[in-house]
Structure 1
Amino acid sequence: MINCLLIKITNNSRGLPVRNYRTLNATELMIGRSAECNIHLADPRIAMHHAVIKELEDGHLYVVSINGEIEVDGAMLQNIKLIPGKQIMIGPYQLNVEPAPPDVNLSVSLTLVNPLSDDYQDLKARTHEPLPNAFKFKWRLSMWLIAFISLVFLVLPLAQNLIPQLQSSMSELPFGFDRVWSSGRMSTAHRHFGSQCFNCHQAPLKKVSDKACVNCHQDTAPHIADPELQKRSLKAAHRFIGSMRCAECHQEHKAPHPLARQDNNMCIKCHGAIRTIDPETKLPNIRDFEKKHPDFELSFKTGPGPKDIERIPQSNQSKLIEKSGLKFPHDQHIGKVQGPNGIWDVRELACTSCHQAEGKEMRFKALSYKNNCSTCHTSELQIGTKDNKLTLPHGEEQNMFNALKLYAPKGFDRYSDQLKNNGCAYCHEVQPAKTGDKLPWSVMPLRLNNDWLAKAQFNHAAHRTQQCTSCHKVDASKSSADVAIPNRQSCLLCHSGNTPKHKRIASSCMSCHTFHNAHQGYDLITGAKVETKDVDILSTLPTVTEKK
């Protein structure tokens, strides 16, 4: 964000210089003759979009030529670094970089040093007189065109929106009169109902409201799960982006361009200086995945509840230990392994033998004893002699002990110790009985992480050309406590930041993060599921002045 103090120097009637001050706040400052430019220079020798002041990759501010010439000391340059004392010619204007006051990061002054000559008589001599008697014809044609345009583009569309009977009858037709107000092609997602404008534009001559979007998108989660924090943060963000309507990021009538904006600047406006938005945040400033991005934080389950989660950065290697309650060495379950039928039973196991993908994003099915373990490990639950084996049920310990009491009451204690030390303990962590427990022992509760990167999304289908072990180093993993989630440095081998690099893919914020994720709509403070949408939350919460 550029906070610029613009000083325009003009001469008054007595020829004395007059300085006019104005403050500009924008990501980029456009210089040109067009009325939309931040720095408007009304001179025919200036291009519509002549140059732009912006921050380049080195973090410094530059004036960059677009359609016009900029020069320093008579030399035409493409990019000129803005440092105090620099004098730059932009057409007939001289731009001086002055020392910036404490509350801005750039101060420039503009002076017209080569004004146009006032040769009115020469201009009048070169002006042609209009054709005789042409005024009446042009006047009549203009009146007919005004009437036709007013009828087609104003009266009929307004009538359709203001007269309920006409609106209901027009809704049965392929398109309505207000279709002429359309500013461009509809996106594919909205094309099936977009022929009737009032489906979104519920009030004539007003912007599309967020509630019109939520009428269909009812399962859209807010950006921040805590509604009070969301309101406070987005209200602070208005200083930079003006508003936080759905249409701010989802711009319709721009097909074939994507409906959702894939623009890093939208994210960086807040997350590039996050403490200016929320002074209490613990988040760091983030601007680029390669240059300025924190280490990944992994989510570890610490209890049975949905909020029993601890997030640990991957830089803290000593705490990256998964306490799943299982004993599982990956190195014994990949490649050639011995099956349950002896040394001649050799089987070839791959990652996909257990981790089976489903869906277009290649999410993985949940693992279970029946589908993934029972083929090779049934013998751990078998008791008795070779000729009289009993296979106990896998699952709740109480069911297993009931089967022992029913089918082997005399050997209950012996078989219970066998299962405690070798059977169940072959795969599970076993804990001794506590005072008051009805069971002699029990297995530790399973705490398997199903969402390691809770604040990001990962599409395995986009990486299906790679081997699993190129990212997940499990070949030498001898314990289920090992964490095989790739870190940021591993991703940077194939991905770069905002700009592409040699043999690396440019990765924007939207490559891994979604605006409406909000941790699957769960309140990160209470753990309750957020049912109301951000639009309703923001409209019902009291403001700061109302609380007072």
Structure 2
Amino acid sequence: MSFIVRQVAKRADGGDIIRTRTLVQAELTVGRGTDCDIQLADLAVMLRHARLVQITAGKVSVETTGGVPVEVGGKFVTRADLAVAENPTIDIGPFRLSLSPGEDGAVAITAERVVPSIEAADAAHETSIFSLSGAMPTKRRMAWIGGLAVLVLLLLVPLFHFIGEGEPALPQTMVAEAARPVTPGQGFGDGKLSVPTARPAAAGGFAPDESWSSGTLSDAHASLSNNCSACHQKAFVSVTDGACQACHTASALPDHAAPARMAKGRLPDGGVMGAAHSAFNLPQGRCTSCHKEHEGAATVMTVAESFCTDCHGGLKSRLADTAVANVPGWAKHPDFRATLVSSPSADKPVFTRTALAGAREKSGLIYPHDIHQSTTNAVANMAQKQRLPQGTDGALPCSYCHKADEGQVRFKPIDMEANCGACHDLAFARDGGTVRTLPHGKPAQVAGIIRDFTLSESFAPRAAVQRLSFDRHLPGKAPPPLSGGNPAARAQAAVVSVFTGKGLCTECHVVTDTGAADLTRRFAITPVSINDHYLPQGQFPHGKHKSYDGKTGQAACVACHTSVTKSKVSTDVNIPGVANCRECHGAPAKTLLSTTAKAGASCDTCHGYHDGVAPAGALPAGHVQPARVAGRQAAGRSRQTPA
């Protein structure tokens, strides 16, 4: 027993698609379910609607399985026996099964969808019965509604809110921090940017104009996330420099250089980008030309190195009178030019910027580094006896005199009493249990004190008073007595012994004999001007260079300042050149597995942009020095009293 099943489907153009199968079995299932032998896909048909069974050759019975009748010969029945030779039909919902004799005694069944004009709807109408198209607006109307919603909710409402906000209330803590000058070296030293911690946004919640935001604010400005008008002060106008300077004042972030000089030395703005800048009123040199917002946590502080090299790579071709050398990048960075004291002065020392090769400095101080760095001479023995700090090699360490400042950027000014007094004692007499000392930095008073002391001892010597020698003498040999002879001549000789030959002052200072009759005005000492920043155009945080290739302490210092242990005169400039810096900065990593350089080599590793310029006439011709650096030098000099 078998069935030949032909299922007829309609093409879109009206043609028929006939699929034929032969099923060798005595029974067929008919329904909407996918497991039925004859599947009729329509909701009017049950999942298991009926079954067909071959009773005998040429005879088939049909029986419904769900209780819903089928139409056979114009009558609705739940069971019927059909003679195949009579070509009977069975209607189930919108489908008709036509039976006819097939080959080899098989029963042929043709299943097709019939759509009577009265009893069933066409396919399109049937689809619309189960859709919402009849209850919804048309697509055109929906497009208009959507467009109006965008216009109102995303343009008009935010715009009215923006216009009605009035003067923005800036977070006072953020304003105070922005107005505070940047600490020298704060953002320099390792090429890694320190991203500030994001502050919470001000109270008030979501503001409608936030829908215009192109991305999240940086951590530095996170507290303004619901206060758009703080920066965007006018609708549809780019952020202006005035908006930035409302917080970042010129005193805290001064100009990189004189505005007129910057405009003259800037790269020409041409091509497509130049046209775009002109069309949208976005001139070069604006704050936002370098500092981009709405791009992540650190973007407003991140400036690409090309922003520096694009200008400085060929600056001399655009600004012919500049004293700044062309710097196309770290690999071709010219050697450093140090700012040296060329003429010491108590209040107005003269600085000259010169190349390191063969440079000499006139600080007014006599200080041989090699003697103070020895491990075996009298200085080393004195340091041991005085129980002063010692390096691992037994020498007086650099850190004894060069003490880091609070920011660990450079060093505190050298002070005679604190750094030299332990060894260079200014005591000149012992009066019983009292040790008399000379004042440092006051030659007139020194001469007067020695003169008066010598005269008093000549006219009224006291046994309890012991004069200490002002000059060197053999060990165990006492200085000559002051009593006897011409008192005035002895007083003059005592004063002269302090300021001449191997006297107390000449060990460290340049003394000039003016020949004045007044003994207190006869000797003048060259003022001491100790430079506190040899490379003012850059920053070198010593606190981040405490080790070098595994060396620390004294060894790390002399690893860079290689000439200091052999320096015999204070005119030597023991500043390392750019080649020394390249040993770490920009050099490849030492291990094969590492792919990063040993230290950063971007421009902002050593240089700042908002350092400012010195006042006109304050520096030698051709030399530009950051204002804050000049201020620190002046402050440092005011603390140094010339001997």
Asked whether the two chains share a fold, i.e. TM above 0.5, the reply is: yes
* Residue in structure 2 matched with residue 359 of structure 1 by the alignment: 406
The amino acid that maps onto 2:571 is: A
Superposed displacement of residue 174, structure 1: 4.1
Matched-pair identity in %: 26
* Residue in structure 2 matched with residue 391 of structure 1 by the alignment: 437
Superposed displacement of residue 375, structure 1: 1.6
* Alignment of structure 1 residues 272-311 onto 2, 5 Å: 272-290=313-331, 292-303=332-343, 304=345, 308-311=350-353
Does the 8 Å CA contact 1:159/1:166 hold for their aligned counterparts? Answer: no
CA distance in 2, matches of 1:185, 1:201: 15
* Residue in structure 2 matched with residue 81 of structure 1 by the alignment: none
Alpha carbons of 1:434 and 1:164: their partners in 2 closer, same or farther (altered >3 Å)? farther
CA distance in 2, matches of 1:503, 1:497: 5
CA distance in 1, matches of 2:226, 2:579: 48
- Given candidates 489, 492, 496, the residue that maps to 1:417 is 496
Alpha carbons of 1:445 and 1:165: their partners in 2 closer, same or farther (altered >3 Å)? closer
CA distance in 2, matches of 1:436, 1:222: 54
The amino acid that maps onto 2:540 is: F
Q: 2:423 aligned with 1:333, yes or no?
A: no
* Residue in structure 2 matched with residue 202 of structure 1 by the alignment: 233
Q: 2:262 aligned with 1:230, yes or no?
A: yes
The amino acid that maps onto 1:376 is: C
* Alignment of structure 1 residues 4-83 onto 2, 5 Å: none
* Residue in structure 2 matched with residue 445 of structure 1 by the alignment: 527
* Residue in structure 2 matched with residue 39 of structure 1 by the alignment: none
* Residue in structure 1 matched with residue 614 of structure 2 by the alignment: 522
In structure 2, the residue corresponding to 1:358 is in which secondary structure?
coil
Superposed displacement of residue 326, structure 1: 1.0
Superposed displacement of residue 200, structure 1: 1.2
* Deviations 1:19-49, CA, capped at 9 Å, x for gaps: xxxxxxxxxxxxxxxxxxxxxxxxxxxxxxx
- Given candidates 214, 220, 232, the residue that maps to 1:183 is 214
- Given candidates 297, 315, 321, the residue that maps to 2:360 is 321
CA distance in 1, matches of 2:379, 2:168: 74
* Alignment of structure 1 residues 373-392 onto 2, 5 Å: 373-378=420-425, 381-384=426-429, 390-392=436-438
Q: 2:560 aligned with 1:471, yes or no?
A: yes
Does the 8 Å CA contact 1:338/1:345 hold for their aligned counterparts? Answer: no
The amino acid that maps onto 1:443 is: I
- Given candidates 575, 580, 601, the residue that maps to 1:485 is 575
* Deviations 1:94-153, CA, capped at 9 Å, x for gaps: xxxxxxxxxxxxxxxxxxxxxxxxxxxxxxxxxxxxx99799543343334333333332
Does the 8 Å CA contact 1:327/1:429 hold for their aligned counterparts? Answer: yes
Superposed displacement of residue 497, structure 1: 7.8
* Deviations 1:225-284, CA, capped at 9 Å, x for gaps: x444234324x5445985110111111222223423432221222222223421333444
Q: 2:485 aligned with 1:454, yes or no?
A: no
TM-score, with length taken from structure 2: 0.54
* Deviations 1:182-222, CA, capped at 9 Å, x for gaps: 22222222223443111111111111111111222212121
Q: CA RMSD in A?
A: 3.7
* Residue in structure 1 matched with residue 418 of structure 2 by the alignment: 371
Alpha carbons of 1:260 and 1:212: their partners in 2 closer, same or farther (altered >3 Å)? same
In structure 1, the residue corresponding to 2:366 is in which secondary structure?
coil
* Alignment of structure 1 residues 136-155 onto 2, 5 Å: 136-155=137-156
Unaligned runs of 5+ in 1: 1-130, 532-548
Superposed displacement of residue 523, structure 1: 3.0
> Aligned residue pairs: how many?
391
The amino acid that maps onto 1:444 is: T
Does the 8 Å CA contact 1:522/1:530 hold for their aligned counterparts? Answer: yes
Unaligned runs of 5+ in 2: 1-130, 170-200, 275-283, 391-395, 456-486, 549-555, 628-643
Does the 8 Å CA contact 1:338/1:346 hold for their aligned counterparts? Answer: no
Q: 2:271 aligned with 1:270, yes or no?
A: no
TM-score, with length taken from structure 1: 0.63
Superposed displacement of residue 362, structure 1: 3.5
Alpha carbons of 1:464 and 1:287: their partners in 2 closer, same or farther (altered >3 Å)? same
Does the 8 Å CA contact 1:302/1:447 hold for their aligned counterparts? Answer: no
* Deviations 1:331-356, CA, capped at 9 Å, x for gaps: 23236464786985575221222222
